[in-house]
Amino acid sequence: MKVREMDIELYRKYMSDLNGKAEPAWQYDETKPCGVNYNDIWRAWVYDRRQQGFRDYKTESKNIIALLGLDKNQTVIDMGCGTGAFAINAAKHLKKVYAVDVSKAMLRRARKKTRKAKLSNIEFSKGGFLTYTHNAEPVDAIVSVTALHHLPDFWKMIGLQRLARMVKTGGKVYIKDVVFSFDLARYKSRIKAFIQIMINRTEPGMKWDLETHFRQEYSTSGWIMEGLLERAGFRIDKADYKDDFFATYLCTKKDE
């Protein structure tokens, strides 16, 4: 018997309602893959292997912790934790890390790596900017690396507002993502050049992932990101744009 896509969607909604966790029908579904499907176990493994080929997770995490001024008495949410690049390394220096991701496959790999590292102060949750509920006390900081671009701009704003409620007043937020700062009149040549640069840094197989990103995902411009962060209740302490395609933001939650 042929299973229709409509039948699968109705069953998913039925199970969600049954579990008492149904979101409004009009809410953006952040669990549905946008771009590359990282819900796939094989994709999660490829992502981890490829990222470690050109990123130093340990050094990145150490630098983020230093930038945020965190210590062993403090807590952090890693929103969009993926395979644990930040969470696992940060947990060695912090009181607790709440590691959140919408992908079961990514979380599965992150948990496996956590067990191997013999860490017990990471709490994993399946969820994201729009669905994660933080039931503990507000954290000292929130970190999100290359995750926010999976949401359209309107839903980025909703997600950032929700993050603001999870962090202490005066707490820090660090966001790194694919953010455009190039001259939009040159977008074709800039995107083509960027894809080639990334292929040279990694491997030819990265080409498909990057083309999918530009075609289907929701990276935005720097001026839009800055507006979203400020309107969500954060003061931007530092905005750093690199290579026309990456940006990092160090923010502080403003007084309510």
* Domain boundaries of the chain, sorted by first residue: 33-253
Interatomic CA distance for residues 161 and 182, integer angstroms: 27
Interatomic CA distance for residues 219 and 151, integer angstroms: 8
Residue 55, pLDDT above cutoff 90: no
For the chain, give the percent of residues with pLDDT over 70. Answer: 91
Q: CATH classification of 33-253, choosing from 3.40.50.150, 3.40.50.970, 3.40.50.700, 3.40.50.1100?
A: 3.40.50.150
pLDDT digits (tens, 9 = 90+) for 211-241: 999 999 999 999 999 999 999 999 999 999 9
Give 33's contacts (C-beta < 8 A, 6+ positions apart): 39
Interatomic CA distance for residues 75 and 52, integer angstroms: 25
Task: Indicate the Cα dihedral angle 224, 228, 229, 230, nearest 10°.
Answer: 100
CB atoms within 10 A of CB 157: 17
Partners of residue 176 on adjacent β-strands: 145, 248
Place of tokens 């507006």: 227
Q: Is the dihedral of CA 112, 149, 135, 103 positive or negative?
A: negative
Give 209's contacts (C-beta < 8 A, 6+ positions apart): 36
Interatomic CA distance for residues 224 and 205, integer angstroms: 31
CB 221 within 8 A of CB 181: yes
What was the pLDDT predicted at 201? 87
Interatomic CA distance for residues 122 and 98, integer angstroms: 6
CB 191 within 8 A of CB 214: yes
Residue 252, pLDDT above cutoff 90: yes
What was the pLDDT predicted at 41? 84
Helices 222-231/153-164 angle, 10° precision? 40
In the chain, what is the straight-line distance between the N-terminal and C-terminal CA atoms, in Å? 56
What was the pLDDT predicted at 89? 96
Residue of 212, 239, 207, 202 whose CA lies nearest to 223: 239
Interatomic CA distance for residues 222 and 68, integer angstroms: 21
Partners of residue 240 on adjacent β-strands: 248
What was the pLDDT predicted at 15? 55
pTM above 0.85, yes or no: yes
pLDDT digits (tens, 9 = 90+) for 1-44: 455 554 555 555 555 554 545 678 999 999 998 888 888 888 88
pLDDT digits (tens, 9 = 90+) for 173-221: 999 999 999 999 999 999 999 999 999 988 888 899 999 999 999 999 9
pLDDT digits (tens, 9 = 90+) for 116-160: 999 999 999 999 999 999 999 999 999 999 999 999 999 999 999
Please state the rounded mean pLDDT for residues 34-56: 83
Interatomic CA distance for residues 82 and 183, integer angstroms: 31
pLDDT digits (tens, 9 = 90+) for 239-248: 999 999 999 9
Q: Which amino acid is at 216?
A: Q
Residue 103, pLDDT above cutoff 80: yes
What was the pLDDT predicted at 9? 52
